Structure 1
Amino acid sequence: MTSRKLLLGALVVLGVVATGVAASAAVPATAAETTPTYVERNVTENTMWTAEDGPYYVGGDLTITGDATLTVEPGTRVNVGEEVTITVEGSLIAAGTAADPIQFTTADASSDAGTWQTIEYAGDGDSTLRLAHAVVEHGTTAITATSSEGSIRLGNATVREHVRDGLAVTTRNGSPSIRITDSRFTDVGRAGVAFEVPETEPYVDAIRNVQISGTTFANTGANGVRVRARQISDVSMTDVTVAGVSAAGVAFETESTDARPQSTNAHRIEDVTLRRISVESVGGDGVAFRGGALDGVYVLDSVVRGASGSGFHVEAATDADRVRFARNTVVDARNGLQVALRRTTGGIQHVSLAVENNEFARNDRYGVDATAEYVFVDAFDVRNNTLAENGDGGATFATQQVDETVFADNVVRGNGGPGIAVSAVRVRGVTALRNRLVGNADDGLSVRASDLLGGVVVGFNDALDNDEFGVDVAGQRAGTTTEIHNNTIAANANGARVAGPTPARLANNSVVLNTADRERADGGRDAAAATGVVVENAPNVELVHNDVYGHIVGLRSSLDGGTVVAEHNYWGAESGPYHETLNPGGAGDAVVTDGGKVDPIPFASEPFGPRYERPTAVLAANETTVRPGEPVELSGRQSTDDGAIARYDFTVDGERRSGVAATHVTAFEEPGTYEVSLTVEDELGVRSLDDATVNVTVEPAERTTQRPTVGPTATVTTAPGSSDGSDGSLLASLFSLWGGLGALFYVLALVLGAYGTWLSVGGRDPPVRGTMTHVLAGVGVLTWAVAGFLGDGTLLTFAVGGAVAWGGLTAVVLALATR
């Protein structure tokens, strides 16, 4: 019965297959394939291309005339022939869907870029070129706009594999209204979107009304977006990504950078907003503005990573009014923000520029690099930025004349040059407030004028651990008073410097411990270094209510004449500063006069602000005698400071190991004695004066006798300790894991043996046979012996002693039992 069922099933299957094959053979081949439509004439009236009638083959140049609209339905494929151009004088509406996109491509999917020419938009004011959910590929330029009228709309478009540009506006008159949203431009030879005339003079007269949003440009030749026009206005870019281009990611150019300056500001970039622009791995600037006058230009919430040029670059601009860079991030570029302004031949320009809430970090040169050649600066605000670990410095600003320039609430740290440096011919107003200037390789803040210096206010800043002065202000001609007040200036090579004839007042500052690791344990007093306050050629300087201490020299003055009034300051000791003639008994910082006079009397007997002390390094090691390869844990946890220790620098056998961790584990492979030292640094950047040291002895590996130890922790501050193996070490071994386990078995054997012997003497049977007690004792002794041979030699003592003691006790019990 089963065989018959199988046979019947096989026949049914064969019948179905045979029927299907016969049905397929009965259908003509032409009915199974889509019949293409060949386009051989222009579109002169409203026309619809459908997916059902496609694909459409355009074998020669095609024009959609001015009074006609070509509508392409979703899912339609248009195959464009070699060297063919589709010209849109009327309108082209190609709106696909995500499920059924439209394609402008070639018949052969493997065709190279440049097989056909372009879709040329040449419409009038009523014309529209609209591509939505459309793919345009394998052309020379995807879309070329030769008309400045009408509109171009791209939404969810994919433009890829073109020889030149994705979208090129090439008419000198300007551009039509352009909207590009949620689109992708990839593998394009010159630029994703370009506005330029293909002639010797490439600048379009005016570009306006352009919006690009949610769009990606990847591997699009030199630029993602390039705009070359004499006037650029009403342009916005939002949520745009550019990656892998050889020049600037986004470039706005109003004139050639090597041309002579224009006599007027007719060349302008105005009302341009870039928001959430992401540029990565580009061969030039992230975003560049070249030439012309900038007015109402905003770059916001954008990120540039890995640019060979600057993250943001304003180059050879003739004016900057209402220009703002805010909430941006630039890392691993040449500069974070580079601004170079130049004067036109028609007159002096006045600049207003804001740089706010940005992070410019790890760039090759500066976080902010601003220069203004013969340009007067009315307002330059740098606020709430982080400028960190840039190669040449945090921020530098150089110009002819500085008015109303503000650096406020910035964090400027770890830069390879000055934190903030301002230089000008005339300084008439620089304010530095609430900045944190830490660990820079030059001055924390410097303001220098080659002529007039005035209107400088430096207040409430932390200038800490910089390699030169914390604050340095100098000028050649006197202006209004320099005010330096309420700053904490600590742990720099030197504290504060004022130079030149401008009156200066230093009040309520903490200028402390500015020795930058130059003051060591030799006790010398090098008066040329580690100075709290330096006054040079400044006859009208007042110091009042400052804390100045912890230096080699508290105040050094060099005057051609006049007196530095330095009364009512605290110099680090109740007895006041040391002054050779006025206060020779003073135990505080020295006041040294190289020229002119200094009057430090009267002085304060206690500090006005918090008392700052150097941290003390304390080094501990868990072992000071080890074998090769055995780990040693070094700890600086016992180091002390009024605040928190911020940095621990271990030096192991001459090699420095820096970090924020309080412990360091190391090992030594060769026998010998190795020196380990520790220096600590507090949150201000003040370092400990004397290193804590410990010597670690590495004994040969074949040594098997008991090693001297220092217990669980050896604490040494300036010299290593030693130990000769005390009873404390024996107890420590006994209470270790293996020592305790052996003791458990051994004690259990003793208890059971003693209890059994007592019962036997009374004529009763013991609960455990004598063999079991011997086994337990043997396990205990064996545990000690194995642990002793494997690591802790002290346990060998317990093994030998335990075996001898058990043998003796057994002999005594046997002797009693046989009496």
Structure 2
Amino acid sequence: MRRAVVCLLAALAVGLVFAAAALGAGTSAAATGDATYVGTNVTTNTTWTPGEGPYVVTTELTVTENATLTVAPGTTVQVAKDASITVAGSLDAAGTSTDRVSFTTARPKPQPGSWTAITYAGTADSRLRLANTTVEYATTAVRVASADGRITVQDSLLRKHVRAGVAVTTADGPPSLRLARSTIADTGYAGVAVTTPGTDPFARRVAGVTIRDTDFRNPGQYGVVVRARHLVGVSVVGGSITGYESGGVAVSTGNRAADVPGPDDRSVTYTTVHGVEFADARGDAVTIESGHLDRVRVSDIDVHGVDGDGIGVRRAIDLDDVVLDDNTVRGAARGIALTHRRAQRQPPHVSVAVTNNTLRETVGAGVSIDAQRLFVSRLDVRNNTVTGSGGDGVALHAPVLSGATIADNTVRGSHDRGVNVRGSRVRNLTVAGNRVAANGRGGVRVRAARTPGPLTVANNTLVNNVAFGARVSGAANGGPVAARNNTVAANTRGITVDGPSPVRLTGNTIAVNTRSTARSADASAVGPSVGVTLTNASGNVTITRNDIYGHLVGLRAATNGTIDAEHNYWGAPSGPFYASVTPDGDGDTIRMRRGVADIAPIAETPHRALIERPSVSLTANRSTVAAGTDVRVTAASPAGPNATYQFTVDGQRRPTQASPSLVSAFDDPGAHEIAVAVVNDRGVASRPPATTTVRVEDASTAPATTAPPPTAGPPQPADSAAPPSLLDSVLSVPGLLGGALWVLAVGVGGYGVVASMRGAQPPVRGRVAHALAVVAAGVWIAAGLLAVPPLLSAGGVALAGWGVVTAAVVAAASR
């Protein structure tokens, strides 16, 4: 009986194969025609059509000047080995979304490099247009050897080329070049390359290059590379660049631009990279190298999975209206890296805005700006979010730095400093409105080898940083150092100023700066406790209307005169403990190693709301468990809804989380300690951490856990049985009867189709086969309705399948 079932299925398969074979034979005959071989140049206006194709280009083919070759939708052009198509006139290959034009190889086993290229060598009146066109398996898809005319590639696919999708090789640069909504994939060197051959790969001038909404996939070394002495109006907008080896978008004006002053200066103007995704690649996402930069913008790009820098501006001479805005960079070497080099005999001009960027988990600095000399009219680092940097969050270095603003940024969790500014002379610097938290080597650091100031640190929130909240140092007096209206809390130390510059500390909250000096992210240990530190200060120091409390030492200073320290709140109505003035004060201590502090009058109440450390407790849902059993611990704290929790399990710190609960399991028997510190929304951590201990017993000695007995369901009838399977149904009497009729129908119908294909008269009319199939399906359907349910589905499927195959055979025969 089982063999009968196998035979039945085999017969059905044979029938379907016969029908498909008939259909395929008809399709092949319709699609195959004689190829048109092209071995002479196109000298007059000519149209290639799919009915005459495929066109096989057997040798070098030129579309001569004043001639236009039009390739109609659905046409295939096959180019012989080492042959190419040169366009001195015009080429218009415009397919449609359903009938594409194809330029490919005639080789049966296509490989990249099977033919040379479509080479554009046109005049001012020439046009090269590829629309809904596929160009594949060449050395280069489109090679541009003329700077005249216009090239457009839209809605096209350029793939599997040895060198490039589009390569511009003329020293005069490209003509008007526009790519839109296309894909360039699997090229060896670049998706789009503007480079000249020879020892100097830099074109004289590149202008009018627009790449919009185009995807570059595995393009080789570069997605887009442009090497020219002058770039004007180059834009890459939308789309994606993935899988490159050296750079996503790379623009260079020459290796020694800084040594070429005067009329031959290199320049990049009106250049834009906007809205492009860069992913899963090596090298920088965007690089602009050397020259005078004017109206250059990189904005709204998304960089992830890239091991180079997100945005790199290298060795620029002038930076005039350079905007790096609203970009997202995750996991790159650095987020944004800018270097400036002074040109010979030319004063530098700098106008740069680094704004609204999100830079996360970079290996080095989030923002790195390194300049030889910056007298800036505008250098704004503003409204950026920088988190988890492996170096500094924001790093700014220049021997002479004047006129920079670092404002309204969030810098959190950097391995080194949150904001790090250094140089020989630093003046007219503003650090304002930033939130700088939980950085590994300090909050805001300004270090001048010679003179700091004038500079302002204002309205910042500097919390939970190792080492210090803010520190300014310099060897000589460069101008006043002003820190006002900052919140400086829960750091190792609060505010430190080293050097003789005048100091103005007004309106700050400097509280509970007692974090451990350990560089780990653990915020649970208590370390040094100093609010304000002044070393080598001049007598020109004002500390007034601040709240300084929660420290062992509120003020530690060494000055050459008297500090004006009036109207400060020191943590208690009785004032600070100042041995020579207020020995009964219960507030923070004042320690003067040199000089004196004039503290009266003293503020008896704080000027602003007090900052207090949050408390926390920790409980476990069970204290003794078997090995491998989950334990849930839950922290309780009044720290507020935006608090975060830092759990530590057996000395290993877990990632910071918003949930107050943690679930863990332990494999090793013994006592295991779980600790938690809570950090409130102001960045202040609880001290000390709350702990609990969980004891784990060996599973072999722990009491066994017995599962509850299964809940009894309703009693089942004694004669209830599972429904018959499909195999049992086919082996039933109606199943076998219908199967026999179906095998007969398939045999008669299949034989008739084969006979018709051979031009012979079938021995049995087609209606007989149809009738047998309908009767067979009817037997199954009737049996399914009456007694054997699975046969109902079998009959329906058989009847529908017969109809589909019959329709396909009829359609194929009528073509």
Classify the TM-score, shorter chain: 0.7 to 0.9
Answering whether residue 656 of structure 2 is matched by residue 683 of structure 1, we say no
Q: Corresponding residue for 2:543?
A: 543
Code of the aligned partner of 1:117: T
Identity percentage of aligned residues: 40
1:609-758 correspondence runs (5 A): 609-624=608-623, 632-637=631-636, 639-641=637-639, 643=640, 646-657=643-654, 659-660=656-657, 661-666=659-664, 676-696=674-694
Hey, what's the Cα distance between the residues in 2 that align with 1:667 and 1:227? 56
Q: CA deviation at 1:632?
A: 4.7
Hey, what's the Cα distance between the residues in 1 that align with 2:667 and 2:490? 38
Q: CA deviation at 1:602?
A: 2.6
Code of the aligned partner of 2:267: R
Q: CA deviation at 1:177?
A: 0.5
Rate the CA distance shift 1:114–1:557 in 2: closer, same or farther, 3 A. same
Hey, what's the Cα distance between the residues in 2 that align with 1:666 and 1:246? 42
Rate the CA distance shift 1:547–1:169 in 2: closer, same or farther, 3 A. same
Hey, what's the Cα distance between the residues in 1 that align with 2:393 and 2:558? 30
Contact 1:458-1:485 at 8 Å conserved across structures: yes
Contact 1:406-1:431 at 8 Å conserved across structures: yes
Rate the CA distance shift 1:545–1:180 in 2: closer, same or farther, 3 A. same
Structure 1: any 5+ residue segments left out of the alignment?
Answer: 1-13, 520-525, 706-737, 739-819
Contact 2:375-2:403 at 8 Å conserved across structures: no
Q: Corresponding residue for 2:280?
A: 281
Hey, what's the Cα distance between the residues in 1 that align with 2:630 and 2:112? 63
Q: CA deviation at 1:437?
A: 0.5
Q: Corresponding residue for 1:571?
A: 570
Hey, what's the Cα distance between the residues in 1 that align with 2:147 and 2:217? 27
Q: CA deviation at 1:499?
A: 2.0
Answering whether residue 348 of structure 2 is matched by residue 349 of structure 1, we say yes
Answering whether residue 109 of structure 2 is matched by residue 94 of structure 1, we say no
Contact 2:114-2:138 at 8 Å conserved across structures: yes
Q: Deviations over 1:346-370 (max 9, x none)?
A: 3231211001111011110011101
Contact 2:392-2:419 at 8 Å conserved across structures: yes
Q: Corresponding residue for 2:732?
A: none
Question: Which range moves more in the overlay, 481-490 or 621-630?
Answer: 621-630
Contact 1:465-1:684 at 8 Å conserved across structures: no
Q: Corresponding residue for 1:553?
A: 553
Q: Corresponding residue for 1:503?
A: 502
Hey, what's the Cα distance between the residues in 2 that align with 1:31 and 1:542? 94
Hey, what's the Cα distance between the residues in 2 that align with 1:699 and 1:31? 78
Q: CA deviation at 1:565?
A: 1.6
Rate the CA distance shift 1:181–1:678 in 2: closer, same or farther, 3 A. closer
Rate the CA distance shift 1:46–1:517 in 2: closer, same or farther, 3 A. same
Q: Corresponding residue for 1:403?
A: 402
Code of the aligned partner of 1:509: N
Code of the aligned partner of 1:548: I
Hey, what's the Cα distance between the residues in 1 that align with 2:526 and 2:308? 44
Contact 1:573-1:586 at 8 Å conserved across structures: yes
Q: CA deviation at 1:663?
A: 2.8
1:12-91 correspondence runs (5 A): 33-91=32-90
Q: CA deviation at 1:552?
A: 1.9
Question: Which range moves more in the overlay, 299-308 or 245-254?
Answer: 299-308
Local SS of the residue matching 1:611: coil
Q: Corresponding residue for 1:726?
A: none
Hey, what's the Cα distance between the residues in 1 that align with 2:446 and 2:368? 15
Q: CA deviation at 1:618?
A: 2.2
Code of the aligned partner of 1:683: D
Contact 1:379-1:403 at 8 Å conserved across structures: no
Q: Deviations over 1:100-136 (max 9, x none)?
A: 1111111235211111111111111000111111111
1:326-345 correspondence runs (5 A): 326-345=325-344
Answering whether residue 147 of structure 2 is matched by residue 143 of structure 1, we say no
Q: Deviations over 1:24-64 (max 9, x none)?
A: 99xxx999841221112111111111111111111111111
Rate the CA distance shift 1:420–1:109 in 2: closer, same or farther, 3 A. farther
Contact 2:646-2:653 at 8 Å conserved across structures: yes
Q: CA deviation at 1:563?
A: 2.0
Rate the CA distance shift 1:477–1:350 in 2: closer, same or farther, 3 A. farther
Hey, what's the Cα distance between the residues in 2 that align with 1:78 and 1:631? 67
Q: CA deviation at 1:658?
A: 5.7
Local SS of the residue matching 1:551: coil
Q: CA deviation at 1:546?
A: 0.4
Q: Deviations over 1:399-434 (max 9, x none)?
A: 132232111111111111111111122222111221
The aligned length equals: 677
TM-score, normalised by the number of residues in structure 1: 0.78
Contact 2:254-2:266 at 8 Å conserved across structures: yes
Q: Corresponding residue for 1:309?
A: 308
Hey, what's the Cα distance between the residues in 1 that align with 2:56 and 2:446? 70
Local SS of the residue matching 1:286: strand
Q: Corresponding residue for 1:199?
A: 198
Structure 2: any 5+ residue segments left out of the alignment?
Answer: 1-14, 519-524, 709-815
Hey, what's the Cα distance between the residues in 2 that align with 1:329 and 1:339? 16
Q: CA deviation at 1:619?
A: 2.8
Q: CA deviation at 1:644?
A: 5.2
Hey, what's the Cα distance between the residues in 2 that align with 1:668 and 1:271? 61
Hey, what's the Cα distance between the residues in 2 that align with 1:137 and 1:674? 63
Local SS of the residue matching 1:477: coil
Q: Deviations over 1:760-780 (max 9, x none)?
A: xxxxxxxxxxxxxxxxxxxxx
Contact 1:384-1:410 at 8 Å conserved across structures: yes
Q: Corresponding residue for 1:222?
A: 221
Hey, what's the Cα distance between the residues in 1 that align with 2:654 and 2:153? 57
Code of the aligned partner of 2:610: R
1:127-526 correspondence runs (5 A): 127-256=126-255, 261-264=259-262, 266-517=265-516
Code of the aligned partner of 1:303: D
Q: CA deviation at 1:649?
A: 3.9
Rate the CA distance shift 1:704–1:581 in 2: closer, same or farther, 3 A. same
TM-score, normalised by the number of residues in structure 2: 0.78
Q: CA deviation at 1:439?
A: 0.7
Hey, what's the Cα distance between the residues in 2 that align with 1:622 and 1:527? 29
Q: How much is the aligned-residue C-alpha RMSD, in angstroms? A: 2.9
Rate the CA distance shift 1:691–1:232 in 2: closer, same or farther, 3 A. closer
Q: Corresponding residue for 1:753?
A: none
- Select the structure with the greater relative contact order (CA < 8 A; seq sep ≥ 6): 2
Hey, what's the Cα distance between the residues in 2 that align with 1:215 and 1:700? 61
Q: CA deviation at 1:289?
A: 0.4
Hey, what's the Cα distance between the residues in 1 that align with 2:328 and 2:449? 34
Rate the CA distance shift 1:78–1:517 in 2: closer, same or farther, 3 A. same
Q: CA deviation at 1:601?
A: 2.8
Contact 1:544-1:569 at 8 Å conserved across structures: yes
Hey, what's the Cα distance between the residues in 1 that align with 2:513 and 2:214? 52
Contact 2:516-2:527 at 8 Å conserved across structures: no
Contact 2:555-2:590 at 8 Å conserved across structures: yes
Code of the aligned partner of 2:52: D
Hey, what's the Cα distance between the residues in 1 that align with 2:672 and 2:32? 85
Rate the CA distance shift 1:160–1:580 in 2: closer, same or farther, 3 A. same
Rate the CA distance shift 1:171–1:674 in 2: closer, same or farther, 3 A. closer
Question: Which range moves more in the overlay, 299-308 or 484-493?
Answer: 299-308
* Greater radius of gyration (CA): 1
Code of the aligned partner of 1:132: A
